[in-house]
Structure 1
Amino acid sequence: MPESILLDITIVIVLGVGAQWAAWRFRLPSILLLLLVGFLAGPVLGFLSPQSLQGDWLFAFVSLSIGIILFEGGLSLRLSELREVGGTVLNLTTIGALITWGLGAAGLHYILEYNVPLSILIGAILIVTGPTVVIPLLRHVQPKGRVGTVAKWEGITIDPVGAILAVLVLETLLLLNDPSRAEAGVNAAVEHVAIGLGLEIFVALGISVAATMLLVFVLRQRMVPDFLRNAVTLMVVVAAFVVSNVLQHESGLLTTTLMGIAVANQPFVSVQHIVEFKENLQVLLIGSLFVLLSARLELSALEYIDLRVLIFLGLLIFIVRPVAVFVSAVRSNLDWEEKAFLSWMAPRGVVAAAVASLFAFQLRPVYPEAVDGMVPVVFAVIVGTVAIYGLTAAPLAQWFGLADPNPNGLLFVGAAPWVRMVARRVQDLGVDVSLIDNNPTHVEQAREEGLDAYQANVLSETVLDEVDLYGLGRLLITIPNDEVASLTALHFSEVFESTDIHQLA
């Protein structure tokens, strides 16, 4: 028995990491490969038994993992980015979410013929997009200006919003179908939702602020050694998530998201090492989550994928998302092309998959027949949206003039005096130039000389979010350390072709 459990764990880790490597190597959306290998390893080949992947332990692991992933996503958000697009982001996560919810539920009811309660529930689940799919897609497309900021903020903040709405709907359905509370009517359900929403926000705000203050105090006072900083951070995040969930069911996702944003924007301690640690942890968590969730499916799930599901997918992509974006951006300063691109940026990710799997398990006693098709439909939407958006977003952005199909700008890694001199000469020739350096003095001097410069650790994954890569098509590494230079080249191969990465030292 212990050997079989160890084998299952090893298979999950190997498939999760291996699929992400293959996706990077062949420039494919990683979620597609993760879902594929999980389905093959589970119901198709039987390496992972779907029956063994049932129970509360899996959903507890999934929920906690998503909380950590959302914390990591919050670390990439800077409040300064909201000065120009804050109103649009707010509208997309409120008005846009309600439109997606309503139209999606209508499609589920009239196209897939789900009953009204399940349609409302699944519609709430499909509100979410998520950083695990949106951020890699933005790195691939490299859109210019405001549109990338809007998509990143929406992708990270919509996850807890959709999850909370879905939880409230689930609790309402369970309340209305509870024989012991047969007297509960619509008014009681509305009151339950209102109280639940208020408690979710109150608890999440309180716990996230308290946990952030505690973490910042501990790190600023250097109460822990450097080698324990990441471990202590993870401990506080997990504790905040669990305490929040204990006080109010499923409020932990909003708590960790708010905590990530707060930690990223506080001025007292550096979070660079925390970000790097969370990036490595996220790779393992995302890979494991998708493999585990897709391996839980049965082969019979394919019976629910028919023409009606494809029609519903088309409704979400071609009608629901554009309506939500254009209504949300009515009074924004986004132009038509930016709105159109955002209308083509709503891939579903791990939160939708996890919530659907959890809710199907909880709703089986209430809707024993109808709930069987719930998870396959949500997974079909995930696969369909990731495939369609992932393969077409870059050409569409280029067509709208939001991405440069042939960028010839030069990104220098390093901003030493001789590098700045070369960069100025290149800039004088009319070529776009940017510099990255971890030395604040070098960065400040570069800016004084009229160069576009960023202070960042080139090996941190957030550097790809912090640097405006629009118009930059070549990378010149000027770091004298060959090992660091090689790692930098590997890291930036996500956005630059290998033939456009050079080293000069």
Structure 2
Amino acid sequence: MHETDLLISLTLVVVFGTGAQWLSWKLRLPSILLLLASGFIAGPVLNVVDPDKLLGDLLFPFVSISVAVILFEGSLSLKLPELKQIGAALGYILSVGVFVTWGLIAIGAYYILEFSVFASILLGAILVVTGPTVIGPLLRQIRPIGQVGPIARWEGIVIDPIGAVLAVLVFEAYAPLLSEGVNQSSIVALQNLLSTILYGGGIGAAAAIVLAWVLKNHAVPDHLESLVTLLFVLTAFTASNLCQEESGLVAVTLMGVMLANSGVTLKHILEFKESLSLLLISGLFILLAARVELSSIVQLGWRGQAFVAFVILVVRPVAIFISTAFSQLNWKERLFLSWMAPRGIVAAAVSSVFAFKLSEYGTEGEQFVSATFMVIVGTVVVYGLTAFPLARKLGLASSNPQGVLLLGANELARAIGGAIQEAGIVVLLVDTNRWNIATARMEGLRTSSVNILDENAAHSLDLGGIGRFLALTPNDEVNSLGAMHFAELFGRANVFQLTPWRRAEKQERSVSHLRARFLFGEDYSYQTLVNRLDSGAVIKTTKLTTEFTFDDFQNAYGGDVIPLFTIQNGKLAILDSTSPEPKVGQKLIAIVDPQPASTSPTPPPTEEADA
């Protein structure tokens, strides 16, 4: 291939990939759909990108390394404390669920697609994976309540190396099966499995321990942290694969999980890895989709469509309901999980690699890849369009979520968060101060130590049921930056920050686009509210009735009341100087003096909201 043609092809890969990501953002569609469409257009339709000529023998090593980086980046979002709640259900899905999925897909491939036994079993092994690059955006859109969000996120990342390893075990056990029988084949499969666990787990753990020490002890400067991390990832992946094929995916996944839970500051690493993963995902889908022969997809005909329907309507629901039969998940959560298994880049990459090997045995290589891509497209379209409506129908998500994300776990944030949580509204406090986090947890509040200013923060937080962002730190700049960061996710109407302590009116008007709406009105800064609490004031929740109206409430506490929120029918409203006066039937959350005025009506006891 001529040098000019190579340059044009490389440029087109970036243009098609970036353009598809950009257009999907504008149209609010799953990016994988437009990436696949762009790959088909660039490859078999226009013939302007030929991956085999472009990269030659480097194509599949590039694919393998890219998948390793993507899995490592995804595993950095997995927090071990989540396993306390979801560990049992997740374990069943990753064990029983995997084998049920594997067996049913193999049966479907054999009878529906009419593949050979070997190709059917291999396809079943590959398609046990789900797609973390697709599940992540879907979960951020849906924001499901409860355990289903963390379960789906963990499954999407951890199951990928499992699927790749199963495919290798199937393939390497096939040759002894042909020549030496079942017994020898079983021995080879067992040996390979043990080798994968030994080398992948050992090398991944060792790399994570050494890298964590390097980062904690500042053995490298800040500007090299991302590159050194990438060095460790690629070295661990390659070393593990040299010892046992495909064990490298196990190594990098374990490495990411250990590093994420080591207490190391990962700000620079997360920012770099997210951008790199986005670039790699875009390029991989263009390259792999460009290799697909459209004629092989057409050749599958109705059998391909029937197989996709079988995977969606039969395989996933059966696998989930069997594997979670003895878990604590209710039927609604199990039904949602049975409708959340989109396939993504790992399935595409692994199937493309094994298509070559299948051809050596004279089996259906092109149709093998085509079937995989049909499943990818089918699952992304179906789940992408229907998962959110299903979650709302099941009560696991809301089109107008009332939960609150609080930036800060300081005294003020804990007091406000506690009052909101007691009223039955979901609350999550985020802070990087360990003392604040520990204190909030002792008070029974849900917390996270994620740096809210990281680009990866939204990926790392469980935002189920949360629809508002309140910035409550004493740092006005952090409040503004945090509000701007989450305005795209929650919408500007649902993002608030405390009024800056000392602001110039003219300057504030000129930079109003750099801040969010003021919380509780322009008269209340962080210091104003904290001073009030330090003087003995408390936050109370009171039910307003015809016998005790808002006027009575103000008179009871001497008129020195700061209304914060009202709650009615489970809906939270944030109050400021322009808000309507709280009405009878609402629950009012306000800052008041600890003792009511002696000459005023006696207020009713503070009422706890229904959880």
Say which of 193, 197, 200 aligns to 1:201. 197
Say which of 227, 235, 238 aligns to 1:239. 235
In the TM superposition, 1:355-434 aligns within 5 A as 355-367=350-362, 370-413=364-407, 433-434=427-428
Deviation at 1:168, TM superposition (A): 1.3
Deviation at 1:378, TM superposition (A): 0.4
2:128 counterpart SS class: coil
Contact 1:53 1:296 in 2 (8 A): no
d(CA) in 1 for partners of 2:230, 2:213: 15
Aligned match of 1:32: 33
d(CA) in 2 for partners of 1:458, 1:135: 18
Q: Which has the higher mean CA deviation after the structures are superposed, 106-115 or 425-434?
A: 425-434
Is 1:473 paired with 2:467? yes
Aligned match of 1:436: 430
Deviation at 1:458, TM superposition (A): 2.1
Q: Which has the higher mean CA deviation after the structures are superposed, 14-23 or 348-357?
A: 14-23
Q: Aligned-residue CA RMSD in angstroms?
A: 2.6
2:325 counterpart SS class: coil
Deviation at 1:126, TM superposition (A): 0.7
d(CA) in 1 for partners of 2:517, 2:414: 13
In the TM superposition, 1:41-56 aligns within 5 A as 41-53=42-54, 55-56=56-57
Deviation at 1:372, TM superposition (A): 2.0
Q: Deviations over 1:207-245 (max 9, x none)?
A: 012111211222222221111111111101110000000
Deviation at 1:172, TM superposition (A): 2.6
Q: Deviations over 1:332-362 (max 9, x none)?
A: 1111111111101111111110011111112
Is 1:187 paired with 2:174? no
Write the letter of the residue equivalent to 1:227: H
d(CA) in 1 for partners of 2:258, 2:395: 34
Write the letter of the residue equivalent to 2:238: V
Contact 2:9 2:54 in 1 (8 A): no
1:306 counterpart SS class: helix
- Residues 437 and 119 of structure 1, relative CA distance in 2, 3 Å threshold: same
Deviation at 1:460, TM superposition (A): 2.5
Contact 1:53 1:292 in 2 (8 A): no
Q: Which has the higher mean CA deviation after the structures are superposed, 219-228 or 323-332?
A: 219-228
d(CA) in 2 for partners of 1:163, 1:223: 34
Deviation at 1:302, TM superposition (A): 3.2
Deviation at 1:389, TM superposition (A): 0.7
Deviation at 1:304, TM superposition (A): 2.9
Write the letter of the residue equivalent to 2:236: A
In the TM superposition, 1:18-417 aligns within 5 A as 18-53=19-54, 55-176=56-177, 183-267=179-263, 269-367=264-362, 370-413=364-407
Contact 1:356 1:375 in 2 (8 A): yes
Write the letter of the residue equivalent to 1:342: L
Q: Deviations over 1:354-388 (max 9, x none)?
A: 011111112212125x2221111100000000110
Contact 2:6 2:54 in 1 (8 A): no
1:475 counterpart SS class: strand
Q: Deviations over 1:66-90 (max 9, x none)?
A: 1111111211111111112212211
- Residues 358 and 9 of structure 1, relative CA distance in 2, 3 Å threshold: same
Q: Deviations over 1:383-426 (max 9, x none)?
A: 00011011111111111111122223443445677777877887
Q: Which has the higher helix share?
A: 1
d(CA) in 1 for partners of 2:260, 2:422: 36
1:330 counterpart SS class: coil
Q: Which runs of 5+ in 1 are unaligned?
A: 178-182
Deviation at 1:99, TM superposition (A): 0.6
Contact 1:304 1:376 in 2 (8 A): no
Count of residue pairs brought into register by the alignment: 496
1:28 counterpart SS class: coil
Q: Deviations over 1:137-187 (max 9, x none)?
A: 11111111111111111111110001000011122334556xxxxx42222
Aligned match of 1:2: 3
Deviation at 1:496, TM superposition (A): 2.2
Deviation at 1:41, TM superposition (A): 1.2
Deviation at 1:323, TM superposition (A): 1.1
d(CA) in 2 for partners of 1:127, 1:3: 41
Contact 1:50 1:297 in 2 (8 A): no
Deviation at 1:12, TM superposition (A): 1.5
Say which of 469, 494, 498 aligns to 1:500. 494
1:133 counterpart SS class: helix
d(CA) in 1 for partners of 2:219, 2:484: 36
TM-score (norm 2): 0.75
d(CA) in 2 for partners of 1:31, 1:501: 29
TM-score (norm 1): 0.90
2:360 counterpart SS class: coil
Aligned match of 1:180: none
2:484 counterpart SS class: helix
Q: Which runs of 5+ in 2 are unaligned?
A: 497-515, 519-611
- Residues 425 and 195 of structure 1, relative CA distance in 2, 3 Å threshold: closer
